[in-house]
Amino acid sequence: MRLVHLTLLLTATSCSSPTQNARAPFSAQGVKQSTTASAFVGATKQGTYAAGTEAFGESKSADMETVFAIGSLSKTLTAILMYDAIQDELASLELQVADVLPELEHRFAETTVEECLRHQSLIPDYVAAVNEELNSPSTEEVLSWIAAQPPLATRGYSNSNYLILGLLLESLRGEPWEKLVHERAQGFGMGATSVCSSNDSGRARGYTRVDPNAPLPARRLTPDASYAAGAICSTVRDWTVFLKKLQEDAELLEWLRVDDRTPYGRGPEHFRIAGRTYWGHSGKVSGFSAFWGQQSGDEAWFVAFMNSDSADIRAIAEHMLDE
257-266, pLDDT tens digit by residue? 987 677 899 9
Distances in Å between the Cα of 119 and the Cα atoms of 70, 113, 158, 171 are: 19, 10, 6, 21
Name the DSSP letter for residue 42. Answer: E
Rounded to whole angstroms, how far apart are CA atoms 191 and 41? 18
pLDDT, residue 210, reads 66
Which phi and psi (to 5°) does residue 139 adopt? -60, -40
pLDDT, residue 221, reads 83
pLDDT at residue 298 tops 70 = no
Average pLDDT in the chain = 85
Ranking 13-27, 61-75, 287-301 by mean pLDDT, the lowest is 13-27
Sorting pLDDT into bands at 50, 70 and 90, what band is 28?
very low
pLDDT at residue 30 tops 50 = no
Average pLDDT of the residues in 229-243: 96
C-beta separation of 281 from 292 below 8 A = yes
Give the predicted TM-score (pTM) of the model.
0.89
Ranking 69-83, 129-143, 155-169 by mean pLDDT, the lowest is 129-143
pLDDT, residue 94, reads 98
- Give helix 74-87 / helix 160-173 axis angle, nearest 10°: 40
Question: Which one is predicted more confidently, 34 or 127?
Answer: 127
pLDDT, residue 24, reads 32
C-beta separation of 10 from 36 below 8 A = no
Rounded to whole angstroms, how far apart are CA atoms 31 and 273? 15
Ranking 135-139, 144-148, 192-196, 301-305 by mean pLDDT, the lowest is 135-139
Question: Of the spans 180-189, 221-230, 307-316, which averages the highest pLDDT?
Answer: 180-189
Rounded to whole angstroms, how far apart are CA atoms 196 and 198? 7
pLDDT at residue 217 tops 90 = no
pLDDT, residue 320, reads 86
Rounded to whole angstroms, how far apart are CA atoms 160 and 126? 6
Rounded to whole angstroms, how far apart are CA atoms 278 and 292? 9
Classified as helix, coil or strand, 50 is: strand
pLDDT, residue 129, reads 81
pLDDT at residue 123 tops 80 = yes
Sorting pLDDT into bands at 50, 70 and 90, what band is 15?
very low
